[in-house]
Amino acid sequence: MERKLLEFDVGESVELFLLIKSSVKGTASNGKPFLSLVLQDKSGELEAKLWDVSESDEASYAAEHIVHIAGDIQNYRGRKQLKIRQIRKATAADNVSAGEFMETAPVNKDEMAEEITQYIFEMKNANLQRITRSLLKKYQDKFYDYPAAVRHHHEFVSGLSYHVVSMLRLAKSISDLYPSVNRDLLYAGVILHDLGKVIELSGPVSTTYTLEGNLIGHISIVVEEVSKMAEELNIEGEEVVILKHILLAHHGKGEWGSPKPPLVREAEILHQIDLMDASMNMMEKALRHTKPGEFSERIFGLDNRSFYRPSFDV
Amino acid sequence: MERKLLEFDVGESVELFLLIKSSVKGTASNGKPFLSLVLQDKSGELEAKLWDVSESDEASYAAEHIVHIAGDIQNYRGRKQLKIRQIRKATAADNVSAGEFMETAPVNKDEMAEEITQYIFEMKNANLQRITRSLLKKYQDKFYDYPAAVRHHHEFVSGLSYHVVSMLRLAKSISDLYPSVNRDLLYAGVILHDLGKVIELSGPVSTTYTLEGNLIGHISIVVEEVSKMAEELNIEGEEVVILKHILLAHHGKGEWGSPKPPLVREAEILHQIDLMDASMNMMEKALRHTKPGEFSERIFGLDNRSFYRPSFDV
Amino acid sequence: MERKLLEFDVGESVELFLLIKSSVKGTASNGKPFLSLVLQDKSGELEAKLWDVSESDEASYAAEHIVHIAGDIQNYRGRKQLKIRQIRKATAADNVSAGEFMETAPVNKDEMAEEITQYIFEMKNANLQRITRSLLKKYQDKFYDYPAAVRHHHEFVSGLSYHVVSMLRLAKSISDLYPSVNRDLLYAGVILHDLGKVIELSGPVSTTYTLEGNLIGHISIVVEEVSKMAEELNIEGEEVVILKHILLAHHGKGEWGSPKPPLVREAEILHQIDLMDASMNMMEKALRHTKPGEFSERIFGLDNRSFYRPSFDV
Amino acid sequence: MERKLLEFDVGESVELFLLIKSSVKGTASNGKPFLSLVLQDKSGELEAKLWDVSESDEASYAAEHIVHIAGDIQNYRGRKQLKIRQIRKATAADNVSAGEFMETAPVNKDEMAEEITQYIFEMKNANLQRITRSLLKKYQDKFYDYPAAVRHHHEFVSGLSYHVVSMLRLAKSISDLYPSVNRDLLYAGVILHDLGKVIELSGPVSTTYTLEGNLIGHISIVVEEVSKMAEELNIEGEEVVILKHILLAHHGKGEWGSPKPPLVREAEILHQIDLMDASMNMMEKALRHTKPGEFSERIFGLDNRSFYRPSFDV
Amino acid sequence: MERKLLEFDVGESVELFLLIKSSVKGTASNGKPFLSLVLQDKSGELEAKLWDVSESDEASYAAEHIVHIAGDIQNYRGRKQLKIRQIRKATAADNVSAGEFMETAPVNKDEMAEEITQYIFEMKNANLQRITRSLLKKYQDKFYDYPAAVRHHHEFVSGLSYHVVSMLRLAKSISDLYPSVNRDLLYAGVILHDLGKVIELSGPVSTTYTLEGNLIGHISIVVEEVSKMAEELNIEGEEVVILKHILLAHHGKGEWGSPKPPLVREAEILHQIDLMDASMNMMEKALRHTKPGEFSERIFGLDNRSFYRPSFDV
Amino acid sequence: MERKLLEFDVGESVELFLLIKSSVKGTASNGKPFLSLVLQDKSGELEAKLWDVSESDEASYAAEHIVHIAGDIQNYRGRKQLKIRQIRKATAADNVSAGEFMETAPVNKDEMAEEITQYIFEMKNANLQRITRSLLKKYQDKFYDYPAAVRHHHEFVSGLSYHVVSMLRLAKSISDLYPSVNRDLLYAGVILHDLGKVIELSGPVSTTYTLEGNLIGHISIVVEEVSKMAEELNIEGEEVVILKHILLAHHGKGEWGSPKPPLVREAEILHQIDLMDASMNMMEKALRHTKPGEFSERIFGLDNRSFYRPSFDV
């Protein structure tokens, strides 16, 4: 199997097709324009500079284009960087597509859909079950496509649904260990908690925030969606209030974006397992590229800490 | 005109009809039951203890009942207290009703309604105008009846609408002074910002939080109401997003309950004039009972500060 | 089966043997001495006042004595209180012992010991396994007897070992779900994380802090114990440093008592599941005494929040 | 009318006289010296680099000199930058003066002076009026010339007096709406609150902090000025204490530089309208250069938020 | 030598003259008035209740009166309390005066004055020396009489000058150890830093804040005094600015009341030795009444910590 | 005497031997590699760039090598920088050694050792004395060689022991002034407080953190050392607990790395004199390079403040 971008060490030469994730023009100190590229394949991304670019270069090497590059992996201030020797735009003849270069959840969509369906099937409270099933159905295409965030954690294709699947498994384990937990509330909360992201974010590629994302946010968005769906399904009563609360409160604190702190047991649990799965994902990603006996890059979402990988962890 | 409860000084005797605002049973150190009463008329409220009560006393002197009391105003740890000498339940023959004992906004409902209607009339953006008018109409009875809060500021009958009227006047002055302000957004924001309180709070008398108030909160409630009303009126587009944002952001910060900080100019202004009118009301109330040359009671909503009333302020 | 203290409602009369948890003398407003008692059985504890006590009463009704009481459950400021009608010290003839009145972990010591032994048995890293096993053995009597805290969570007989067992189950589930977790480090961390409490706390009854508990704290205590045991067992190398770090960091932040934040993946996980099991225990305890449709007492360890028990949670 | 610097879009060529606001020498990566210039006219300022400079260039292109430039507006990391093609120092023959290139308050000094005089004239408390009038007279030249700050808000010629005029208008509106406000205290507070800036800052051009500004600060400076003036005018009594307090407290909190928080009603109001006028000015400035449907640059003084300009705000 | 109030243990009877520090009237649960007294002699103070008081009792047992009391030392919630058996007002015949009952600095005024004079004499900078000497002279009577604070530290007669003397000794030691310290600035700063307290506080007995104390504060007060004195003495130049800064900054942070943080070396040192002497005094006072092997009462000014007195500290 | 690196002003040429403190490779905007060097002698350090380097240059100009340089002192963004004209590696013929280029404590090791020995000799508590003497002996070589920190304060050869000596002198002065201080505890605390640094840090040259330094930290390290030494010496009892506490608490707060706040008087004093000596050192270093009448560089360890050196401080 072919080696990927991040599998090369400093000093090695590479010859690869890569996807341009972003391309920003600058002016070098000699007054000439250059491009700062972020290039990626499924293994991750690296920065590269392209010097002395013409206007047609700018167009050719814009974001979302695929290029073929010959270059060298170098060390720049302790981080790997790609030094470009040769670059050309990929053509039809190269037979490559963007999807091949984007990280994707390690489980495929159908399996995830089947697993989530099973969790919904196990729910006993018909009101919670119907709202959950209907909302998921309404947004299912985006739900299985979108990342869970712009960066930091689960920031890959299908990251949103993969995050939900992992959390459902945690939710199940916890419900088994603490039997007084209301499994229906917890499952509904897990499945819907980040569903507002399908409106907050622009999509799976070059993800940015939409206007509603910036000004309203996925928490308020999903709460409103629950209300509308409940009305549509003629469901009234306390389940709707509690479900809305659980979603509203899942960031745990006002400072973190929740207008109410968790005031129902399952809201507190949802908040905790959301944190747990997100930190697992961030640590996994950082340590995957760290050698035993070394410290990882700093993880922004974990107070900017740098984690040590024990030398006996081989 | 008859003197009211708070107009009597320490050492004076009173003979008055009063409304019981709350009544809590306790056990005295001699093992006998007593009632801690909060008694009020339009001038404000005082605490009083009723010793050695029977079970029928408990029933007679419960919250929301009117009583006739003879007693003395005493000083208890620097605060006035009412010492009860005689107490009896009011009867039909006394010809008194609860409304006479409750503080009310200094402007009557019809005048307020007329003034608010005029502001809505002046709005030029038809979408914002229709949403505002329709939502106000939907909840108008409660809107003109409810207080703006359980305590701290505008905690009286019609306090909600009075707070809105005061803020509208501020909004108008500010729009006159800074012409680039979008008057429509600001007026709509002011009128609707606390409308969720009609669902968050239980009503104008013995006000408490409802379940939705506790778990969802008036900010999320009103945002959802705007969405539903926009849908009902077939209004789409950026005005709805911006209006929702302005309402969402009016507490200014996550710590204070807003899931998004103000990111639109009129959202920031709404937040500031909300603070200004609330603090004006709190200072007014505290200084009204403070003699020139003295410090007021501490004001919880203003960092627990005690304000000085200048001796030349007579 | 006989009804326990907390199973009686306000207004009911009780006739029970109870253990005096604490007894503090005060002076009533008539100048006479009284005792503030905290009385408990396995269901929990209530306060009671004993008026006009003699010096011999003080001696008879001191902490850790058992008494027989006839009285009434009353409401005092929204909390239940016990009003004593008759009280007498239990005698040999009553055939009651303190153990019958103290809350205990819901699993017995032998089962817990067996389960923990099994987890140690599953560890593959011989160094971690030997340190864990030896330290547990050194303190096993206290470990299976002590509470996990003076108050807030797992504050009952065998609370410490029960907390560890619950966390081990969580640790196992999480290791199953995230296979890159180092199971040995995590199990060792869970088993030892609060072992310093056997030196920090005075014991299972009327628990207080020892001088070492107050001045050094269980975190530094256990780290030192690991060092000494490793030396005794002639174990050197990175496992010891990492294990010490994991224990040092398990409170997560400097403000919470950890001199280093978690810098190893399993340290972060240990911190999170410690929080999770503690909050589960606190919510469980608070909601157990809350009726559906009502809010619980405030939970100090969860930011003083009051949790709502849904009315459909029956 | 000629187009100004900030009215050109990226890609356009400019040929303009500009004032050098600051000029800092650096060493390029080829080892040769260059100048980082900030160039301005009334529309605002842009950065530009001048490469390979000689020692005489350094002297010619120093701060406060006027230059004629031919160049291009470029995009550098999302901000406009000026690329210099030709540059020469302006000569007497060019007939240009620094004043033409500096932003100035939108109202002229005489109008402002007349308006402020009118407010002083309306004051009824003779003591407050005399102190205010005399202090303003003492520093009037600088007061009508200085900016209100080094950066962030009202950082232009006459910015200080313009800030005061805007706040006086707000103060008047608020006093009309809340009649119990002491208008004299509020007017005096507004007029004097930033007067210490004439000692704290170096002047209207290339403004920096003086030693007294750095070590004492404008708040303590103005309080001392009030004391001295009161002594000079033989005014004693509580007005002086209260006026000093209002000035002392106008930053609202210790963290923001006020040694006492507002403890008098008018002190609180002064603090709020100071904030309001400053934020209005900052939002105005940021949104003026933002197209409808886009987000502004981040505003440092408003928690670094970026404001959205609605697309219907045209 | 006669035993003092705090030298009696719980259970002992006392018969003593005592000074009433404060006397507050309350209403007992039987409806009758009582007085809460704080009684003191040089050893410290205790609380006592006087039940069933008449109006003439209220007058007789008001603050600042001396009384003769027979009573018992009791334990009330872990603190000593005095139970009054007999009380009578002292008469001329008793030949006692208030001064005998108030704690005083352990060094007498003349010695302190001599020592401070010597420090001033050692100053070499004539400007700093003259300002310091003149200001001290202006307020010398109060300076040697006042406490350094209302409570927390040095809250006794002559506490202000005693605090200054202790700090001067520290300042001298530190200047000896770190020779680059500017001794003149440091001595001047120490001597003047709390001089504003003679205006901030009401006096040595029953100390409270004056209006200027509440609204302006001793920091701004002393800075103004320095300015006026410099003017009077025709002293100009940087020494005055720096001295004012050092005084302004001596609380170290905005949150603690300093409008500027220390920006001159001696300002930082002054802040640190002020803290050091204050904490020494607070710990001394708390530990004086603590037995070896026990924890002291909580010290409010030291983050409410309770300090342990080692059992070998005898 | 020859001039040192930091004694040259901007614009002057230098010809000097210098030690390379660090050397980091980068890629210039023309794609060629360069080295960012930090060069030092006893006067301090400066940055320099070496352009267009070959692979052999990288090896020659690595950290810890000595070089001979001809170049110019330039101004880069307000800081001095060294522009290299000629560079060559020092050879044996040059007869220079690393020690000549490193800052060292101003007192030599023998004098420090003698002084510390004297303090230990004065201790009266035999247990504290033996532990202190034995631990110091165990690590004496490193103790007199190591810096006290990687940067910020006392970051030079023998900085650790010099910091201890300065603090001992402070401790002695304070014990003289406040006689109730336990001199033995304080001396022991001062001598041992940073001893863990000999394990936390890598050594006196190019100092970095060791794995134990990163994961355990010098506070926990020294506490463990005390325990082990006490065991070795068969010393038991409260002195050991108290000494461990004092060391544990010397950072003062959880946020600053102490798992317990100071709860013993001498712990609080130790914390304060540690801060005092560290800030003295940081201010001294910053002001040494500041001209009278100017502000120093920002001092990171003192809240990033920039200190003013009075113009009369000459």
- Cβ separation D77–A215 shorter than 8 A: no
pTM of the model: 0.90
| pLDDT at residue number E23 | 87
**Residue F93 in contact with partner chain A when CB distance is under 8 A:** no
- Cβ separation B255–A254 shorter than 8 A: yes
Same-domain check for residues D148 and D214: yes
Same-domain check for residues D230 and D126: yes
- Min distance F128 CA to chain A CA atoms (Å): 37
- Min distance A257 CA to chain B CA atoms (Å): 5
Query: Does residue D195 lie in a domain region?
Result: yes
- Min distance D310 CA to chain F CA atoms (Å): 40
| Rounded mean pLDDT for each run of 10 residues along chain D, 314 residues in total | 83 91 76 85 88 87 91 78 92 87 89 97 96 97 92 86 97 96 97 97 87 97 97 95 98 96 98 97 91 91 95 81
| pLDDT at residue number F207 | 83
**Residue F263 in contact with partner chain E when CB distance is under 8 A:** yes
The H or E element spanning position B18 is strand B13-27
Strand D66-76 to D79-89 pairing: antiparallel
Residues of D in contact with B284 (CB under 8 A): 178, 180
**Residue F247 in contact with partner chain C when CB distance is under 8 A:** no
Angle, CA B43 vertex, CA B38 and CA B45 arms, to 5°? 15
Residue of C nearest to E27 (CA): C29
Judging contact as 3 or more Cβ pairs under 8 Å, the answer for E and D is: yes
Same-domain check for residues E154 and E77: no
- Cβ separation C76–B27 shorter than 8 A: yes
- Cβ separation F312–E238 shorter than 8 A: yes
pLDDT per position as a tens digit, B15-59: 999 999 888 887 765 667 888 899 988 888 889 989 888 888 988
The rounded distance, in Å, linking the Cα atoms of B155 and B153 is 5
Token look-up 């930082």 returns E268
In 3-state terms, what secondary structure has residue F264?
Answer: coil
- Min distance B52 CA to chain C CA atoms (Å): 15
| pLDDT at residue number F77 | 63
Facing residue for D257 by CB, picked from E223, E245, E254: E254
**Residue A214 in contact with partner chain D when CB distance is under 8 A:** yes
Asked which of F100, F121, F150 is the last residue of a domain, the reply is: F100
- Cβ separation F257–C257 shorter than 8 A: no
| Structural contact between residues D271 and D153, judged by C-beta atoms closer than 8 angstroms | no
pLDDT-derived band at C182 (thresholds 50, 70, 90) equals very high
- Which of A211, A216, A243 should be substituted to probe chain B, the one whose Cβ sees the most B Cβ atoms within 10 Å? A216
Judging contact as 3 or more Cβ pairs under 8 Å, the answer for C and E is: yes
Query: Span A303-310, mean pLDDT?
Result: 96
- Min distance B287 CA to chain E CA atoms (Å): 17
Facing residue for D261 by CB, picked from B177, B242, B303: B303
> How would you write D236-303 as a 3-class SS string?
CCHHHHHHHHHHHCCCCCHHHCCCCCCCCHHHHHHHHHHHHHHHHHHHHHHHHCCCCCCEEEEEHHHC
- Cβ separation F215–C241 shorter than 8 A: yes
- Cβ separation D260–E224 shorter than 8 A: no
Same-domain check for residues A125 and A273: yes
**Residue A51 in contact with partner chain F when CB distance is under 8 A:** yes
Q: Is the pLDDT of residue C303 over 60?
A: yes
E88, β-bridge pairs: E68
Query: Does residue A298 lie in a domain region?
Result: no
The rounded distance, in Å, linking the Cα atoms of A256 and A268 is 14
Same-domain check for residues E61 and E186: no
| Structural contact between residues B139 and B195, judged by C-beta atoms closer than 8 angstroms | yes
Query: Does residue D301 lie in a domain region?
Result: no
The rounded distance, in Å, linking the Cα atoms of F25 and F34 is 6
pLDDT per position as a tens digit, E229-261: 999 999 999 999 999 999 999 999 999 999 999
Residue of A nearest to F23 (CA): A77
Long-range CB contact pairs, E104-111, < 8 A, 24+: E104/E42, E104/E156, E104/E157, E104/E158, E105/E156, E105/E157, E105/E158, E105/E159, E105/E161, E105/E162, E106/E162, E107/E162, E107/E165, E109/E144, E109/E158, E109/E161
Facing residue for A215 by CB, picked from D74, D77, D308: D308
CATH number where F78 lies: 2.40.50.140
From the list A237, E245, E298, C277, the residue with the least C-alpha distance to F305 is E245
- Min distance F52 CA to chain A CA atoms (Å): 15
A89, β-bridge pairs: A67
Strand D66-76 to E79-89 pairing: unpaired
Alpha carbons within 13 A on the beta-carbon side of E313:
25
Query: Does residue F305 lie in a domain region?
Result: no
**Residue D211 in contact with partner chain F when CB distance is under 8 A:** yes
Query: Span E262-266, mean pLDDT?
Result: 98
pLDDT in tens, chain F (314 residues): 588 898 888 888 999 999 998 888 877 656 678 888 999 888 888 899 898 888 889 888 988 889 999 999 887 766 788 999 999 999 989 999 887 888 888 899 999 999 999 999 999 999 999 999 999 999 999 999 999 988 778 888 899 999 999 999 999 999 999 999 999 999 999 999 999 999 999 988 778 899 999 999 999 999 999 999 999 999 998 999 999 999 999 999 999 999 999 999 999 999 999 999 999 999 999 998 888 999 998 999 999 999 999 998 76
**Residue A210 in contact with partner chain B when CB distance is under 8 A:** no
Same-domain check for residues F252 and F230: yes
Same-domain check for residues E91 and E206: no
Residue of A nearest to B221 (CA): A224
CB atoms within 10 A of CB A73: 18
Secondary structure letter of residue B151 according to DSSP? S
Same-domain check for residues F67 and F119: no
Query: Does residue B182 lie in a domain region?
Result: yes
Alpha carbons within 13 A on the beta-carbon side of B230:
21
- Which of E283, E285, E309 should be substituted to probe chain F, the one whose Cβ sees the most F Cβ atoms within 10 Å? E283
Residues of E in contact with D223 (CB under 8 A): 216, 220, 224
Same-domain check for residues F119 and F180: yes
Residue of D nearest to F34 (CA): D29
Q: Is D150 exposed, middle or buried (0-12, 13-18, 19+ CB in 10 A)?
A: middle
Residues of C in contact with A295 (CB under 8 A): 263
The rounded distance, in Å, linking the Cα atoms of C90 and A219 is 59
Name residues whose C-beta falls within 8 Å of residue C100's C-beta, 6 or more positions apart in sequence.
C41, C42
- Min distance F79 CA to chain E CA atoms (Å): 20
Identify which of C233-247, E10-24, E197-211, E278-292 has the greatest average pLDDT: C233-247
pLDDT per position as a tens digit, B287-311: 988 889 999 989 999 999 999 999 9
- Min distance C255 CA to chain F CA atoms (Å): 5
**CA-only gyration radius of chain D, Å:** 22
| pLDDT at residue number F78 | 64
| pLDDT at residue number B302 | 95
pLDDT per position as a tens digit, A65-100: 999 999 998 877 667 889 999 999 999 899 998 878
| pLDDT at residue number E29 | 58
- Min distance A261 CA to chain B CA atoms (Å): 9
Total tally of structural domains belonging to chain E: 2
| pLDDT at residue number B175 | 97
| Structural contact between residues A223 and C268, judged by C-beta atoms closer than 8 angstroms | no
Query: Span B1-5, mean pLDDT?
Result: 81
Query: Does residue F239 lie in a domain region?
Result: yes
The rounded distance, in Å, linking the Cα atoms of A275 and A166 is 12
C66, β-bridge pairs: C19
Facing residue for F263 by CB, picked from C215, C253, C263: C215
Residue of F nearest to A29 (CA): F29
Residues of C in contact with A238 (CB under 8 A): 310-312
Domain that holds residue C96: 12-100
**Residue C170 in contact with partner chain A when CB distance is under 8 A:** yes
| Structural contact between residues C266 and C186, judged by C-beta atoms closer than 8 angstroms | yes
The rounded distance, in Å, linking the Cα atoms of C82 and C71 is 7
Average pLDDT, chain C: 91
- Min distance D4 CA to chain E CA atoms (Å): 40
Name residues whose C-beta falls within 8 Å of residue E311's C-beta, 6 or more positions apart in sequence.
E292, E293, F238
**CA-only gyration radius of chain C, Å:** 22
Facing residue for F29 by CB, picked from D24, D27, D29: D29
Angle, CA C15 vertex, CA C10 and CA C20 arms, to 5°? 90
- Min distance D90 CA to chain A CA atoms (Å): 25
- Min distance D208 CA to chain F CA atoms (Å): 14
| Structural contact between residues F154 and F213, judged by C-beta atoms closer than 8 angstroms | no
Residues of B in contact with C76 (CB under 8 A): 26-27
**Residue F232 in contact with partner chain C when CB distance is under 8 A:** no
Residues of B in contact with A259 (CB under 8 A): 217, 219-220, 257-259
Q: Is the pLDDT of residue A206 over 80?
A: no
pLDDT per position as a tens digit, D200-214: 999 887 788 999 999
Asked which of D53, D78, D100 is the last residue of a domain, the reply is: D100
Token look-up 């720049």 returns A76
Q: Is the pLDDT of residue C149 over 90?
A: no
Asked which of C51, C67, C100 is the last residue of a domain, the reply is: C100
- Cβ separation D81–A211 shorter than 8 A: no
Token look-up 């302000």 returns B181
Q: Is A310 exposed, middle or buried (0-12, 13-18, 19+ CB in 10 A)?
A: buried
Strands annotated E in chain C: 13-27, 33-41, 44-50, 66-76, 79-89, 294-299, 305-309
| pLDDT at residue number B146 | 93
| pLDDT at residue number B1 | 57
Query: Does residue D54 lie in a domain region?
Result: yes
**Residue D308 in contact with partner chain A when CB distance is under 8 A:** yes
Q: What residue type is F267 in one-letter code?
A: A
Percent of chain D clearing pLDDT 70 (strictly above):
97
| Structural contact between residues B43 and B26, judged by C-beta atoms closer than 8 angstroms | no
Same-domain check for residues D92 and D118: no
- Cβ separation E308–C25 shorter than 8 A: no
Same-domain check for residues F131 and F254: yes
Query: Does residue C185 lie in a domain region?
Result: yes
Chains that touch E (3 or more CB pairs under 8 A): B, C, D, F
**Residue F210 in contact with partner chain C when CB distance is under 8 A:** no
Chains that touch D (3 or more CB pairs under 8 A): A, B, E, F
Facing residue for B76 by CB, picked from E26, E29, E30: E26
| Structural contact between residues E73 and E10, judged by C-beta atoms closer than 8 angstroms | yes
Same-domain check for residues D147 and D275: yes
